[in-house]
């Protein structure tokens, strides 16, 4: 059974894994609202500015969460290599976090990063953490 620390680290990495694509979807929806409210006239100026602000904030949030995922993957894989377990991942998994960050701009990059980070999280969750 994983320790409490292992469980919280896994949940943190899983949240950082899901947030960038979610922020990009929100950014896309707010961009559609921004474009449609711009053609509606002066009456919807508040909606126009709000949609623009949401688009920018969601895009930058996606980049920030991807950077945090990269740092988290690097530090977690380094910590797992120091412990005595049945799986010691390479810190190169952090490169998948960088590719996940590229997915904030180029959605096709998620096709590479999602399976790699998903595999890392799967192995991280099923890892034997008992002391030997």
Name the residue among 67, 63, 71, 116 with its Cα closest to residue 124. 116
* Structural domain contains residue 132: no
* Structural domain contains residue 58: yes
Residues 6+ apart with CB under 8 A from 45: none
> According to the model, what pLDDT value does residue 88 have?
84
Q: Which residues in the chain land under pLDDT 50?
A: 1, 131-132
> According to the model, what pLDDT value does residue 2 have?
57
* Structural domain contains residue 131: no
Residues 6+ apart with CB under 8 A from 91: 73, 74, 77, 78, 81
Q: Which domain holds residue 98?
A: 4-126
- The total number of structural domains in the chain stands at 1
* Structural domain contains residue 53: yes
> According to the model, what pLDDT value does residue 132 have?
45
Name the residue among 38, 97, 32 with its Cα closest to residue 58. 32
> According to the model, what pLDDT value does residue 81 have?
86
> According to the model, what pLDDT value does residue 131 have?
47
């Amino acid at each position: 059974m994983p320790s409490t620390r292992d469980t919280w680290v896994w949940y943190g990495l899983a949240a950082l894994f899901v947030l960038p694509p979610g922020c990009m979807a929100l950014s896309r929806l707010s961009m559609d609202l921004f474009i449609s409210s711009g053609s509606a006239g002066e009456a919807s100026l508040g909606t126009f500015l709000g949609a623009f602000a949401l688009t920018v904030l969601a895009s930058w949030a996606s980049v920030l969460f991807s950077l945090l995922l990269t740092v988290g993957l690097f530090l977690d894989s380094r910590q797992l290599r120091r412990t005595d377990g049945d799986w010691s991942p390479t810190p190169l998994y952090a490169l998948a976090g960088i590719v996940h960050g590229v997915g904030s701009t180029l959605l096709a990059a998620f096709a590479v990063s999602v399976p790699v980070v998903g595999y890392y999280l799967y192995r991280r969750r099923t890892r034997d953490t008992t002391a030997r």
